Chains A and B, each alone.
Chain A
Amino acid sequence: MNNKKWIKLFIFSSTSVLILVGVINYVIDPLSETNYNLFNIEKVVQTVRKNKLVLSKNIVHIDNLILGSSRSIQLNPKVISKYLGGTTFNFAVNSGLPEDYLGILRYLIRENKIPKNIILGLDFYILNDKIPPENNFLSEPELNFLNMPRSNNTFFSLNKFLLSVKNIYMVLAHKKAESTFDINGYLFHKKEDDLIHKNQYNFMEKIQEDSTNYMKGKYSRKTYDSLSNERIKYLLEFLKLTEKYDIKIISFLSPVHNYHYQKIMENKTLAKTLVEFKREIAKHFNYYDFMYPCEMNQINENFYDAVHIRSNYNDLIIDEILSNGVPQEQRVGILNTIKSVYCESKDNE
């Protein structure tokens, strides 16, 4: 073989493979990025936002709306409706951020499905501006008010190609992607539950593993050192809308396992940011704080991992934030108001 032929073959084989992978990924579009489904293939990866948008369209009106992240996704709408009456819809989405709250509320206002109450599950990471807006948020035109394109939406991706292949296999094998949400957006089944029932679930291992992932991802200790002005702005806009439409907000800060809380506290930067976070939120509205070391957060079986709680704990939270019947001494959540957070942190200082 001569040099020229070698070069031609290299260029031809490389570009052919790249183009082939790109075209397959584009046509199959396993992550539903283009909203362009050439062969009407059911997607193997169903994004939570897309699922919930579809489910919300089928509901005539929403009285109580649940917002938050995956940590609020198992707040049971039926239990909430027992306390507040009316219809409840769980619109909590994976890695939910303030832009999600605002985007969802704006969308529901446009759809004339304005809720009377919003149960807002807050997470410590939501004001970290080092976390970019979720791609799944950006790819939903009905929610995305940021006018930002998806990042990293290349179709020349090996991971995406593997998903495309999986998607093709599922179509050929007539397998369906199963939805795990009920008509009210409630995540009624988690894969982890199967393992727990079979006694094959190592709680502590999952707690440690997830804690590490959170430390790396959601609030990497080298980066979450200040609160995002941009996301506070979204939160304020969200609050303005709730005032305008007379929507009541009932909010809480999601619990974390004591192990994870300890990890946060061991890091001076994160510990300081957490105090600032609690103060900042309390400036705008009162909320119940479940993110502190307590007996309930020490029990491994209350958690799937470091930050995701199981249904019994979710029900307890609903009970506490919506009912006045729980005696003070039995309460887990602490009501944080602007007065209390400043006094408490002063005491600590």
Chain B
Amino acid sequence: MLFNYIIGTSLNKDRREGNHRFSKKSLLTFGIVSNIALLGYFKYMDFFIENINLASGSEVPLLRLALPLAISFFTFQQIAYLVDSYRQETKEYDFLNYSLFVTFFPQLIAGPIVHHSEMMPQFAKTKNKVKNYRNIAMGLFIFSIGLFKKVVIADTFATWATAGFDTATTLNLFEAWATSLSYTFQLYFDFSGYTDMAIGAALLFNIKLPINFNSPYKATTIQDFWRRWHITLSRFLKDYVYIPLGGNRKGEFRTYTNLMATFILGGIWHGAGWTFMFWGLLHGMALVVNRAWSKLGFKLWTWLAWLITFNFINVAWVFFRAKEWDDAVKVLSGMIGLTGIVLKDKLEQKLHFLSDYGIEFGKVTTHIGGDSDSLKLILIGFIIILVFKNSMQYLKIFTLTYITVVYSSFLFTWSVLSLRKISEFLYFNF
């Protein structure tokens, strides 16, 4: 933090003192390389060693370093600060406020990735140091929703997702779909739940954090999805990777390569592994196709566009979640019915003829430890993500009524009473 603060201030000073541009650029490069080197050392070194060992047959021992909590998040925030200092877009902040900007506890661990320009003025504002009951009420309201999303919804889906990805050796068609959809819902409710809690906790201190999710699974194109999912990451990648690479200003082909590069980087940012990189590559490719499709002037029915987008996202999450390629292949082959189809035994009498085509009858979700509840809850998951407003929309229309107090209190107490084990947030890993 001190290192970045000094570099950032120096970049500012250089501007005022009219130093040579070359040294300013070197200073910025030095700052960025140092940050990335630190991130690379802690997060990617073992991945690098593993691949060297695999390629060369060597046996270099892995470092097995403990990953500093939130390193990916605070590295990005500080790089943005350095770049903006270089671009002369920062003001002279004091070190205390700068430290608070980097380490502000509600969002430190899993975002939203905040920008100095939206945080520093809030820290400096005297009015924000006075108790504000409106913000406290709103904070408690949104915090309760977030806690419920995480503890009650996400952790319920987590059981089936974990069983399907990590434990089961084979998955039938419905199990594979239940596994992938469970993870798709788990990730959304877990991450957006954390964000809601961060926004709520920050509001207690009169700090407004940026919106990070806007009903992403309602998206009808992949571009639309990235405008709704982890919005602050998309903003960072756009401002500090895609646009500096040239964005869409250097012709169609360069636009496509810039998109691919940005999303591969986004994939790697999430984790050190080929599956993450592949997930980034898939999204990059989808964006390229989406862009070309729009350029050609093609249009789809909204429902079909949603269906394609959602299914693409769902399939791509399989690579994101899988710890090994084999796990991804297992789930995907199940999803296309390669490992068998099992229908509920109650249907056997009516649909017995299907057994001639290899369809079995029995318990549908045996290998993921689910029962009829898992399929019902997946259906409820769809209703929540598609029919209901999202938590930020509810926050916007928040009013001081008995209904909101009962609703918030109900969600809060249910969540607290369901806290029975340690369950980490998924994005803590990144």
Chain A interface (Cβ within 8 Å of chain B)? 1-7, 9-10, 13-14, 17-18, 21, 152, 154, 156-159, 161, 202, 204-205, 208-209, 212-213, 215-216, 220-222, 263, 266-267
Contacts and interface: CB of A to CB of B under 8 A. Distances in A.
B402 A1 contact: yes
B417 A6 contact: no
Contacts of B401: 1
Given A14-B413, A157-B420, A205-B363, A6 B137 contact: yes
A147 B409 CA distance: 38
B128 interface: no
Contacts of B366: 205, 208-209, 212
B237 interface: no
Majority secondary structure of chain A interface residues (helix, strand, loop or mixed): helix
Given A7-B136, A205-B363, A161 B417 contact: yes
B404 A6 contact: yes
A156 B416 contact: yes
A220 B166 CA distance: 8
The winner among A13, A202, A208, A267 for most chain B CB atoms within 10 A is A13
A6 B405 contact: yes
A267 B367 CA distance: 15
A212 B414 contact: no
B417 A222 contact: no
A10 B166 contact: no
Interface in B397-430: 400-402, 404-406, 408-409, 412-414, 416-421
Given A1-B402, A6-B137, A6-B404, A212 B413 contact: no
B369 interface: yes
A154 B417 CA distance: 9
A331 to B, nearest CB: 31
A213 B366 CA distance: 9
16 contacts: A1-B400, A1-B401, A3-B400, A6-B400, A10-B405, A18-B416, A152-B420, A152-B421, A154-B420, A158-B418, A205-B362, A208-B367, A212-B168, A216-B167, A221-B167, A222-B166
Interface residues of B, number: 36
B166 A18 contact: no
B417 A18 contact: yes
Contacts of B367: 208, 212
A3 B167 contact: no
Given A157-B420, A159-B420, 20 more contacts: A2-B133, A5-B400, A6-B137, A7-B137, A9-B405, A9-B409, A10-B408, A17-B409, A18-B413, A18-B416, A21-B417, A158-B414, A158-B417, A158-B418, A202-B345, A205-B363, A208-B367, A212-B167, A222-B323, A263-B169
Contacts of B345: 202
A285 to B, nearest CB: 32
A216 B163 contact: yes
B144 to A, nearest CB: 8
The winner among A10, A161, A205, A221 for most chain B CB atoms within 10 A is A10
Contacts of A161: 417
Nearest to A222: B166
Nearest to B163: A216
Given A1-B400, A21-B417, A205-B362, A7 B133 contact: yes
A208 B416 contact: no
Contacts of B323: 222
B87 interface: no
A289 B167 CA distance: 26
A195 to B, nearest CB: 15
Contacts of B408: 10
